[in-house]
């Protein structure tokens, strides 16, 4: 059921991009050829005198291409030719309409519709394959990992992609539930190899590293190895790592150049103070391990994490997005509602998002004392 819900969300997101970017055309575009044909025919039939409006019919076949396949486009073209030759419409008089031009446009439109239909089919296949590959790289976040509820929102800066320079993951292991949010240098699909490497390093470290320092060191080593080559020292990433205790009543946090988490408690939003370490890949030998902070968690507490795409978003005047202020008004909302409303508010504030935007809400559920 979770997979079905997430697929529906992705389809809804794809439709929100607009019909000029691959979504199906809106209803008014689909009915426009029919409405135009009916309008011209009705107007000419009701008029006692000849109306020189036959030229409008020439637009119907090209308009049909936007919504229909070659067969329906041919039908619309044939109907146009028939209407032009009905004596009652007064459109068959010489000089009113160049019939040969209309026929040529109709035939050309059918050809264009045929080509477009086949190209669309190929694009759908390629898009399906691309989505499957990206889903394999960064699979959907489960609703719950151990005793920690999870909800994430991710919007890649590159249109039409599911993966970019940001990523998050939550994993259960022998040392408790651990989470990561990271931001790789760069944007778009060019960052995917680095994202894959860091995700793999994190998932392995969750299983065999006893502390967050070891997890960060493993990711550092992976990034250093990947940096050998033309990109050299330019390859780095910021990250925030979390580790919940077995009873999820405390969480340890380590920050590597990334904005710290925000604690949502009793309708308030407060930034957790953590001494930041340097970004991953900058200190390959790990001689300066990151400082860690331990936070006590109570019933109803939640942790909100966001990438630079949220923290550093600005409006046209250069003012930063007031994240903490907005969170205070949404602190008690369901995580799905919180992230959706925050995303909408972020779009309204900035107008256009030019960076990968990532949000993650973690909801620990401590076991009730004396309960099963």
Output the pTM of the full model.
0.68
268-271 vs 166-173, strand pairing mode? unpaired
Tens of pLDDT, residue by residue, the chain (372 residues): 344 444 444 444 444 455 555 566 778 888 888 888 888 888 888 877 767 777 788 888 888 888 888 898 899 888 888 888 777 776 766 455 577 778 888 898 899 888 888 887 777 776 676 666 666 666 788 899 999 999 998 887 666 666 677 889 999 999 999 999 998 887 666 777 888 889 999 999 999 999 998 999 899 888 888 777 555 446 788 999 999 999 999 999 999 989 999 999 988 999 999 888 888 888 656 556 667 899 999 988 999 999 888 888 888 788 888 888 889 888 888 999 999 999 988 888 887 777 788 899 999 986 554 443
- Give DSSP secondary structure letters for 233-291: GG--EEEEEEEE-TTSSEEEEEEEBSPPPEEEETTEEEE-----BPPBTTSTT--SPPP
Q: What are phi and psi of 271, to 5 degrees?
A: -70, 130
């Amino acid at each position: 059921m979770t997979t079905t819900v997430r697929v529906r969300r992705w389809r809804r997101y794809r439709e929100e991009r607009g019909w000029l970017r691959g979504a199906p055309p809106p209803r008014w575009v689909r009915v426009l050829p029919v409405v135009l044909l009916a309008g011209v025919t009705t107007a000419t039939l009701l008029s006692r005198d000849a109306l020189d409006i036959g030229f409008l019919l020439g637009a119907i076949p090209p308009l049909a291409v936007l919504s229909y396949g070659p067969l329906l486009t041919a039908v619309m073209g044939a109907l146009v030719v028939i209407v032009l030759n009905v004596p009652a419409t007064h459109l068959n008089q010489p000089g009113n309409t160049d019939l040969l031009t209309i026929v040529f446009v109709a035939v050309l439109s059918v050809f264009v519709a045929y080509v477009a239909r086949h190209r669309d089919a190929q694009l759908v296949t390629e898009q399906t394959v691309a989505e499957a590959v990206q889903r394999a790289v960064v699979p959907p976040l489960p609703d719950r990992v151990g005793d920690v509820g999870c909800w994430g929102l991710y919007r890649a800066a590159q249109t039409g992609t599911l993966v970019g320079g940001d990523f998050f993951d939550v994993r259960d292991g022998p040392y408790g539930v651990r989470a990561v949010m990271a931001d790789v240098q760069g944007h778009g699909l060019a960052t995917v190899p680095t994202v894959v490497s860091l995700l793999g390093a994190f998932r392995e470290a969750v299983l065999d590293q006893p502390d967050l320092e070891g997890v960060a060191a493993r990711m550092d080593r992976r990034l250093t190895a990947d940096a050998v080559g033309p990109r050299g020292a330019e390859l780095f990433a910021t990250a925030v790592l979390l580790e919940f205790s077995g009873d999820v009543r405390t969480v340890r946090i380590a920050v590597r150049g990334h904005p710290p988490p925000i604690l949502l408690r009793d309708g308030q939003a407060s930034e957790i103070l953590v001494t930041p370490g340097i970004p991953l890949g900058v200190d390959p030998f790990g001689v300066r391990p990151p400082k860690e902070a331990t936070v006590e968690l109570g019933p109803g507490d939640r942790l909100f994490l966001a990438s630079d795409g949220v923290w550093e978003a600005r409006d046209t005047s250069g003012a930063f997005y007031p994240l903490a202020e907005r969170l205070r008004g949404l602190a008690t909302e369901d995580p799905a509602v919180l992230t959706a409303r925050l995303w909408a508010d972020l779009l309204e504030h900035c107008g256009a998002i030019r960076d990968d935007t990532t949000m993650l809400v973690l909801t620990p559920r401590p076991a009730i004392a004396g309960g099963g």
